[in-house]
Amino acid sequence: MFEIRGVSSLFPSRFFRNFGVAGRGTVVFSLSFLFILALLCAPGPREQAAWAAQGKPDKRAKPKPKAKAKPLTVEQLAELNGVALFGVPLKLNKGRFTVIYPGAGEFDKGFVSRSFGRGRVFSKIADVKNVSHRKLLIDGHSKGKATLVGFLAGSTLSRFDLVDDYKISFRMRIPKLGAGGRFAFLLNHQGGSFVQTNFFQDIIIAATKTKVRTKDKRFASPAYRWFDKGPQGMPVVIVCKGGKLSISIGVLNGKKEEMIEVVATEVMEPPPGKIGFNFQGFSFLISSLRIDGKFPRAWCEKEMAVLRKAGKLVTKMPEKKAPLPPLKGPAKKGPDLSKPDPEAEDEL
């Protein structure tokens, strides 16, 4: 076939002559060995996935950083600090606020009261200890929740302002009233500017020196002649809206109370101011005092700045409570009503 000279001592020519026969098994063995080695060294599915992942960006969802909390609005801060501002929790809805005063001392947190002589304003009904006074002013009053008791003489003025759109409602019980009794309710009081009504019969506007009296003959005479002195007293509603101020009183018509407008007048958007009253010569109970009005934003901002400076302003919303976990164990089953009760059959 062919011969390699010079190396015959190392590789006998006979071997090369018979290579097709003698080396065939060796070649097959070598190729098989290399194939098996390649299979052993080749990466498996897991290794292939790992290698592939090394060259690609990780698409797994990473935890997003917590978004910064948005600063609370003036309205939200006012609701959180309602007790500090108004003495009671504040409810806000579409730019209007509502506060309701029960008779557990909250009134003194929203109003400043003064007493004259032996008189006093009780904002905590439990402080009225005299049995005869309680029987005369409080006992038997079921159409309202007691807010305060005015005794003989005193005055009160709100710490907060009302603007030109509001509604004040309450029920007033006066068991005894003589000709010397005086009661003046103040509105939009700011220095020498105010609106006043005397026993809800008239409206006096100090800025224009205007006085409007009721034209209803039933309420034109002194209050001691027409005011209902029964245990439920009379409901009173004062409304200032759309340039009109009106005062209404509830009068029994059979078994129903009918609200009657006693006096009303036009007002040229009175400036923001406080509300309150002063009285002399009689004692009374006010119940279910409720005030609705346009949110006094400017006043709240001013007062909350004072609270913030003193370190008393609440600035965080309360955390929501997690729901209670479900009860463990199988639910209790009631009796199977589809089957007759043998005990009941025995009784029958």
- Which pLDDT score is estimated for 11? 43
pLDDT tens profile 144-194:
899 999 999 999 999 999 988 999 999 999 999 999 999 999 999 998 889
* Burial of 110: CB neighbours in 10 Å, binned 0-12, 13-18, 19+: buried
Rounded to whole angstroms, what are the CA distances from 301 to 75, 202, 230, 251, 308? 9, 34, 43, 40, 10
pLDDT tens profile 225-236:
999 999 999 999
pLDDT tier for residue 9 given thresholds of 50, 70 and 90:
very low
What global pTM score does this model have? 0.72
Q: Return d(Cα 26, Cα 16) in angstroms, integer.
A: 14
pLDDT tens profile 24-82:
555 555 556 555 655 555 555 555 555 455 555 556 666 666 667 688 899 999 999 99
Lowest mean pLDDT among 18-27, 95-104, 136-145: 18-27
Q: Return d(Cα 42, Cα 57) in angstroms, integer.
A: 24
Distance of CA 226 to the CA centre of its chain: 41
Residue 10 has pLDDT above 50, yes or no: no
Q: What is the mean pLDDT of the chain?
A: 82
pLDDT tens profile 305-335:
999 999 999 998 887 766 667 766 665 665 5
Contact of 141 with 287, CB cutoff 8 Å: yes
